[in-house]
Amino acid sequence: MSQRYYTVTWDQLHRDGKALAWKLLSLGPWIGIVAITRGGLIPAAIVARELDCRVIETVSVITYEEEARGEPRLTKPPAAAGTGAEWLIVDDLVDTGTTAKVVRALLPEAHFATIYAKPAGKPLVDTFVTEVSQDTWILFPWDTEPQFTPPIAKVRNGVA
């Protein structure tokens, strides 16, 4: 199975973050949001604005080094979320579910929301906006720079 890349622009991320907030609006109110760093920081800020939530906590779990997966390492637990009751966890993506499992164990009563979900991790989240295939690597705007990309047909035919 070859890996695919899907580029998300700032505008698209904002629209998708707002769509996530719409889905979450009737499920609150929330005491606060726990953003999973680093990818969940910007989606959490968008969701917090839309839900008028001023309390944001963070949790840091290192799972990836660039595109390579490693063993998850909790580097910063959330300071004030208790068991997670009435808290909202926000991340950009659930992939294999490795990070989600670590955070779920820390905050078992929290509501877990992501913008994007892959099939392997989807059962671990409560709310998401868009499902993508397991072999898709999402290129978020904070990880990329605008540059020329050859047409898909040329890449496929080995011309580019």
Q: Per residue in 103-160, pLDDT tens?
A: 999 999 999 999 999 999 999 999 999 999 999 999 999 988 888 888 888 887 777 6
Q: What percent of the chain has pLDDT over 90?
A: 74
| Spans of all domains in the chain | 4-155
Q: Per residue in 2-44, pLDDT tens?
A: 678 999 999 999 999 999 999 999 999 999 999 999 999 999 9
Q: Look at domain 4-155 and name its CATH class.
A: alpha beta
Q: What is the pTM of this model?
A: 0.87
Q: Is 136 helix (H, G, I), strand (E, B) or coil?
A: strand
pLDDT at position 67: 60
pLDDT of 70 strictly over 90: no
What are the DSSP calls for 38-98, one per residue? TTTHHHHHHHHHHTT---EEEEEEEEEETTEEEEEEEEE--SS-TT-TTEEEEEEEESSSH
Q: How far apart are the C-alpha atoms of 7 and 12, rounded to whole Å? A: 10
Q: Which residues are catalytic?
A: 91-92, 95
Q: How far apart are the C-alpha atoms of 152 and 118, rounded to whole Å? A: 23
C-beta separation of 93 from 124 below 8 A: no
Beta bridge pairs of residue 117: 94, 131
